[in-house]
A and B are shown apart, each in its own frame.
Chain A
Amino acid sequence: MTASTGDAVMAEGLEKRFGQTIALAGLSFSVPRAELFGVVGPDGGGKTTLFRILATLLVPEKGTAHVLGRDVVKDLWELRRRIGYMPGRFSLYPDLSVYENLRFFAAVFGTTIEREHSHIAPIYSQLEPFKDRRAAALSGGMKQKLALCCALVHRPEILFLDEPTTGVDAVSRREFWDLLAQLKASGMTILVSTPYMDEADRCDRVALMQGGRLLAMDTPKAIAQSFDRPLLAVRAARRYPTLLALRESPHVHAVYPFGDTLHYVDARAQEPAAAIAAELSKFLASRGFADAAVEPATPTVEDSFIARMGAPEGTRAA
């Protein structure tokens, strides 16, 4: 996909290192306007570094990045008026109330809560009952909503959210992503990094980063469909022993827990899944797991990512 000039983000060959550690090893990608773009990947993979560069907080050693058509290094003051950023951890003032935090960030951007009220209403309405509560006393989900509100109050054209839902409970996460969907619908470009695969599914496109590189970038559906080996789901009463047994089956490529099943990936790419299913049932029965139910499974984004990330050093996978 070639970048078009109207893209919200254009990164070309970004490189960044911290001492001996290479954080970004040459990253190139682009994000069109009004896209909800997800970034997933292991910790230390470079996600935060990338977001900080795009938010004008860090300078890359090599390569360029343009946000909203502006260079992140040269035009940082103009960009800082037009982007919104949520850092990876809670970045608000714990001893100030919800209202005071919001009012402060509005002032810093030269506006007021009253002026932007209609713009932030969807989120602020959820916060308003607690507007006099100290930020430190809010629950995790509320804190993140407040941080989002503060990042939005100056009507940015693009949002960079670095792991905004880590450590937040499932209900609040859903509510948060509903808000993101609303924002995207109103034309906002959003880049989000997340460790949750179900959130990756809600993005227009997802990128997988590991070791400072892009391993994959496409729509969630395409990524899921790019899974290139037979995948089966095994349901068994005694999960762990079944898992260990499966690891010893002759053509196994990988076995891992997956929700309420175990996912088994066969090494033989061309073999039809149904045939493998029958084989596997017999194998498990011979090991004493006659109750196991084996059937072909549809690969998900998570399966693809696991396949692409490969096993980091020191895994006991087969």
Chain B
Amino acid sequence: MSALAGLLRKEVYHILRDRRTLIVIIVLPVLQVIIFGYAIRTDVDHVRLAIVDPAPDTVTLAIRARFNAAGVFQDVALVPRIEPLEDLFRRGAAQGALVFEAGFAERLARGLPSGLLIIADATEPNTGSIVASYATAVIQGYQQEAPPSRGAVHIVPSVRMRFNPTRESSNLFVPGLMAFVLTIISSLMTAISLTREKETGTLEALLVSPLRPWQIIVGKVAPYLVVGFASVVGVIFEARLVFHVPLRGSLSLLLIEGIVFILVSLSLGILISARTSSQRVAMMGALIGTMLPTMLLSGFIFPLESMPWPLQAISVVVPARWFVLVARSVMLKGVGLAYLWQPTLVLLVMALVLLTASTRAFHERLDQ
């Protein structure tokens, strides 16, 4: 039985026997994806809509019906005049309001511009702009289907959010979430594993053996690749089943990219723990070294394009940035390796560099 095989088998025992670790590795990513995914949705539901319709007619009723049917709005008040709106907004009873001019249908039929005021409560700017855009979309939908009035030119702006027509934010977030979860778990696991050996004193016994540093490192990384793969499968499942994120590209490609990404994170964990002998320090290092960059600089939550260029430059070395790109492309756009060879290459190079660096950083003696 070769030395490396012996190492791998030992590591598998550790993984299987430390039940807490096992739970963390397998259950936690899944749990995180669910919790984060639901919490971070910036969808707005049940927008409380107040309607000012001084003289309800067929058109206003038709438009109001459309709003109801959109499934996003909830009528909370119907008033004939504009004055009560102030109070409704102040109290927070209404988040948005639709104000019809008197004689709406009549003016439309005569080709005169009809005024329709959309008011959105912008104290929460996100909600405000979303209400406004939802409302606009409903109106435009009506306009498209309404009979053109005599002589009027209808311009139908086509605002469609490509690949995310219903604007469900899950589709954008979940790939980023996958990267977030996978990188934290992977780097944590190797960091913990290596420093645990240092703390129990077994590393000293390993060092005095003929095992070379690269063998020890491979023996630590390889078993967690398998575990990480299970996590990748897990989060993809979650994305599909719970958030209904589409998978328009190749599943195998996504899995392979996931494995490469995990390899990068595992190596990062080893590098972090090569220089410390405390489990706590290694865990902190792994968390800070992966969580913060991934959260802030991978395009997960904050779009990269709107960042100042120094940060964009830094993001190039954040592995998660590349995997988020890959995951979104594969899942939402359905592209293949032809388009993704560049980010894939970046990830592979990162894995190589980190593994080499950690082998170098790993002393073959107790000091060097």
Contact = CB atoms under 8 A, between A and B. Distances in A.
Query: Are any A and B Cβ atoms less than 8 Å apart in their complex?
Result: yes
A96 B11 CA distance: 10
Nearest to A94: B200
Given A85-B205, A103-B6, A150-B205, A95 B14 contact: yes
A57 B205 contact: no
B365 interface: yes
Contacts of A112: 1
A56 B205 contact: no
Interface string A168-193: 00000000000000000000000000
A110 B3 CA distance: 6
A109 interface: yes
Interface in B51-101: none
A83 B208 CA distance: 8
Contacts of A87: 201, 204-205
Nearest to A81: B210
A74 to B, nearest CB: 13
A92 B202 contact: yes
Nearest to B203: A91
B211 A108 contact: yes
B207 interface: yes
Most B CB contacts (10 A, CB to CB) among A83, A105, A150 go to: A105
Interface in A34-58: 52, 55-58
A100 B200 CA distance: 17
Nearest to A92: B202
Contacts of A77: 210, 212
Interface in A91-139: 91-96, 100, 103-110, 112
Given A58-B365, A58-B366, A104 B10 contact: yes
Nearest to B17: A95
Contact of A108 (B7, B17, B201, B365): B7
A76 B200 CA distance: 24
A108 B209 contact: yes
A106 B1 CA distance: 9
Interface residues of B, number: 29
Given A76-B364, A89-B201, A95 B209 contact: no
B305 interface: no
Interface string A197-220: 000000000000000000000000
A108 to B, nearest CB: 5
Interface string B4-22: 0111011001100110000
A107 B367 contact: no
A289 interface: no
A37 B18 CA distance: 41
B104 to A, nearest CB: 76
A80 B208 contact: yes
A105 B364 contact: no
B251 interface: no
B252 interface: no
A223 interface: no
B2 interface: yes
A107 B200 contact: no
Contacts of B200: 90-91, 93-94
A55 B2 CA distance: 23
Contacts of B210: 77, 80-81, 108-110
Given A91-B200, A93-B10, 15 more contacts: A57-B365, A57-B366, A58-B365, A76-B365, A80-B208, A80-B209, A83-B208, A89-B201, A93-B14, A95-B13, A96-B10, A104-B7, A107-B5, A107-B7, A110-B2
Question: Top 10 nearest A-B pairs by Cβ distance?
Answer: A107-B6, A91-B205, A87-B204, A85-B208, A107-B1, A91-B201, A108-B209, A95-B17, A57-B366, A104-B10
13 contacts: A57-B365, A81-B210, A85-B208, A87-B201, A87-B204, A91-B204, A95-B18, A103-B1, A106-B6, A107-B5, A108-B3, A108-B211, A109-B3
Interface of A: 52, 55-59, 76-77, 80-81, 83, 85, 87, 89-96, 100, 103-110, 112, 150
